[in-house]
Amino acid sequence: MNDQGGKAPRLERLRAGRLSRLAMLGGTAARLAGDAALAAGRLAITASTDAASKSLYRNAGRTLARNLGEMKGLPMKVGQLMSYIDDFVPADQRESWRATMAGLQTRSQPMTFEAIDAILCADLGPQAHAGFARFDIEPVAAASIGQVHRALLPEELGGFEVAVKIQYPGIAEAIESDLNNLDVIVRTLSAILPKVAVEQSLHDIADRIREECDYHREFNNTQLLHDFWSSDATVSVPAPVAERSGAKVLTTRWVDGMRFDAACRDASQAERDAWGAAIFRFAFRSMYVLGAFNGDPHPGNYLLLPEGRVAFIDHGCVQRYSHETLLGFATVRNAAADGARGDALYHAACKAYGLPEAADAELRVAIADYLVLSFEPLLAPQPYLYSRDYTGRLGRSTANVKLLVAKKMMRTGLFDLGTPGAVFLLRINFGLNSVLADLGACADWPQLVESFYQEAGLPCSLTNQKSVLSIIASPSSSGA
């Protein structure tokens, strides 16, 4: 083993019980209230709203990053989303907010090696770390469900470097406590974040977070995606290693790459466009051709490589789709591309998304307008540049529709949809779009989408049936 001598404090155990986690949420709420009071005091002294706003988001970001990072589980998952889906933060404060919150993506407070080693040995056998030619005690990443250690396989297993993800002890119990504390989490985070954003993020994650604790499932997801993308020139999914994986340990091939935030600072527009296209292709070709969508598109799960290549890690949250469901999604997008608006677009979406047929005119118009805005990157003149202006408009539209739905007293809101997996399309609006906007990526996005439709045997829109033929015939077009 190799101890790299990390000096950061380590957690010896997770506070997993419901009451102890309620107490942690209460402490977080109190600290956020203190942050707000400090900002109000600064405003009273200086009469400067800019200074007060800067103080509020800087201090609140530190509070959330520290406390949610210690809690792990569902609160940290929401924090990860809020670290890059930040259109609710004033534009001049986003850079400092992100810098403060970015650690939640991969660099939160890890657990002691003794606690992690107990899980490793319980899963792979006594002295399991001896089954590696080298095992680095210092973790390279610490996230919401587990932490990652770098290691080297022995020669009989290939002798290559690997990433070993080990689940936190007690995390499954902590997640059950979090699921029982949803209302309290909403109230706590709503002290600084818009309630609609917190509620949507929580309900989006809650249904799937238990699955992320099952590393057998993640192994199978990773193997599926690795096999599907193995011959692609720009998309890479590191292969899992069965001999060093179990229910709470997942070992995959190591990849050296740039983290998303670092790459965004220094990349050329050509690099941004290439990485953006790879990320877009991974999401939508996996979804439409393979029927599997990775529902956790936060930047900590991307490693950006030279020549426009991207490696995708962490596949614990993968939604599967039937061909019939995907046909419904394609039908709605094609209707929008061919000019359907208002009632025509709403009725096209009813079956595909499980929307209520009996909705009144006001709601039908609002949802149809929201869908048109969601499809803007595919409907606008091409090539289309993703921007913060777009994600800001989309966030405001989503909030407005949610308020309208709540006013009309639908059971749980617009996004309690009847079609299995439809809610995961919101990960595109609130996740993937934010990533592409950060990159400022530009491409002909509908041509890419229609190439996936063609490969999957789905109908193309009447508007773009001719243009899709050129990309299908192109030597650079990807195959299965």
Comparing 421 with 169, the larger pLDDT belongs to 169
Helix 18-46 vs helix 182-189: crossing angle, to nearest 10: 10
Asked if residue 440 has pLDDT above 50, the reply is yes
Q: What is the mean pLDDT of the chain?
A: 81
The strand pair at 302-304 and 161-167 is best described as unpaired
Which helix H or strand E contains 152, and what residues bound it? strand 146-152
120 has pLDDT over 80:
yes
Provide the token pair at 454: 């063609």
More confident residue, 243 or 477: 243
Comparing 82-96, 172-186, 424-438, the range with the smallest average pLDDT is: 82-96
Res 479: pLDDT? 33
CA-to-CA dists, residue 174 to 136, 204, 329, 344, 364, angstroms: 27, 18, 35, 46, 40
Contact call for residues 249 and 164 (beta carbons, < 8 A)? yes
Among the listed residues 93, 99, 96, 86, the one whose alpha carbon sits nearest the alpha carbon of residue 50: 93
Residues of the chain with pLDDT > 70: what percent?
78
Among 282, 360, 295, 356, which residue's Cα sits nearest to residue 321?
295
Please determine, for residue 49, whether its predicted confidence score (pLDDT) is greater than 60: no
The fraction of the chain above a pLDDT of 90, given in percent, is 41
Tell me how many degrees the CA angle 295-298-300 measures, rounded to the nearest 5: 125
pLDDT for 201 equals 61
Find all residues with CB under 8 Å of 380, minimum gap 6, and list them.
none
Q: Tell whether the model's pLDDT for residue 473 goes beyond 60.
A: no
The predicted-structure confidence for 343-397, as pLDDT tens digits, reads as follows 999 999 988 888 888 888 888 898 899 999 999 999 999 999 999 899 889 888 8
Query: For position 178, what pLDDT does the model report?
Result: 82
Q: What is the Cα–Cα distance from 441 to 429, expressed in whole angstroms? A: 15
Q: Tell me which of 110 and 253 has the higher pLDDT.
A: 253
pLDDT in tens, 220-229: 999 999 999 9
pLDDT at 9 over 80: no
